Structure 1
Amino acid sequence: MLKRGLIVVFALVAFTFSKVKAQQNENVVVVKDTLITLLQHVRANMGINPVESKPVAVPTKPTVRSAATRTTVRGFRVQIFAGSDRNSAFSEQARFRNMYKDIDTYINYDEPNYRVKVGDFRSRSEANNFMNLLRQQFKNVFVFSENVFVYQ
């Protein structure tokens, strides 16, 4: 059994060495099936996964909450506090509200910890940008995926 294991290990090492040697001496040729290109063009014409994607900035419209409908979607929030002290959780929430009056805050209690999370972000990149901004004022800041509120 040990002999067979050594043979397998030796074969793997030899195979890996020969591949590395081949990559150093030869050019890599990529062969692409023409059907892949055809499928990409068909999907692009249908509006699905276009071949050439260009970033488009969509301006966000300010939503008047009193006239909008609130719905729940899967999104992201930034956690600014996690701990077992209730008073500390509420003081961190108040401190955040003083700095950012237009961003909603949420306190969750999962025994034995309180968690203060802020914002209702649809994309992780928005949440990450806001998290990086908050790192200057709060410690242990993280992004979490959860159901968030959006106004339409």
Structure 2
Amino acid sequence: MNTFYTLIICCFSLASFAQKRGVVTVVKDPLIDSLIKRRIELSKKTTTVTIRKDGPIVSQMGYRVQIFYGSDRREVFNEQQRFKSSYPKINTYITYKEPNYYLRAGDFRTRLEAQRMMNELRPVFATLFVIREKINAPSLEQSNDK
């Protein structure tokens, strides 16, 4: 009887190894390829221009230094005033993402510029981060040296 069970188990195990490999056919909507292509084109386009009365504002990807974040709105505005008293020429931006307010400063084209500002601010502000986001590109100063 034991040999009979052993023979049956061997037959079933041999049958399990006799499976053939299949072919996978991918069926997809052709719009998927066009959406992927469109996404790649949009990610390459990083500069937008907005025309205002003051002049054009060019937006592109760049860096800002996050100076402060917290849930108290008054505290964020107080930190903004403290920063503006020391650095009046640098733009500051307050954004709200529930439940916190974020205070970010500067429009830096490179991470190195933002890092320099962060090192300068380190003694005054405790928590500093360099954040990559869309910035209002600063105008390039041209010299008259020829």
Q: Give the TM-score normalised by the residue count of structure 2.
A: 0.57
Q: CA deviation at 1:150?
A: 1.4
Q: CA deviation at 1:151?
A: 4.0
- For structure 2, the 5+ residue unaligned runs are 1-52, 140-146
> For the Cα contact (< 8 Å) 1:68–1:151, is it kept in 2?
no
Query: Residue type of the partner of 1:149?
Result: N
Secondary structure, aligned partner of 2:137: strand
Secondary structure, aligned partner of 2:75: helix
Question: Are residue 138 (structure 1) and residue 103 (structure 2) matched?
Answer: no
Query: Residue type of the partner of 2:94?
Result: I
Query: Residue type of the partner of 2:126?
Result: K
1:46-85 paired onto structure 2 within 5 Å: 68-85=55-72
1:10-57 residue CA offsets vs partner (Å, 9 max, x unmatched): xxxxxxxxxxxxxxxxxxxxxxxxxxxxxxxxxxxxxxxxxxxxxxxx
What number of residue pairs does the alignment pair up?
A: 87
Q: CA deviation at 1:69?
A: 2.2
> For the Cα contact (< 8 Å) 1:69–1:151, is it kept in 2?
no
Counterpart CA distance in 1 for 2:86 and 2:56 is: 26
1:52-98 residue CA offsets vs partner (Å, 9 max, x unmatched): xxxxxxxxxxxxxx875211010000000011111110000010000
Secondary structure, aligned partner of 1:70: strand
Aligned to 1:92: 79
> For the Cα contact (< 8 Å) 1:83–1:89, is it kept in 2?
yes
Query: Residue type of the partner of 1:102?
Result: K
Pairwise CA RMSD of aligned residues? Answer: 1.4
Secondary structure, aligned partner of 2:123: coil
- For structure 1, the 5+ residue unaligned runs are 1-65
Change (3 A) 1:133 1:67: same
Question: Are residue 109 (structure 1) and residue 103 (structure 2) matched?
Answer: no
Counterpart CA distance in 2 for 1:101 and 1:145 is: 22
Aligned to 2:135: 148
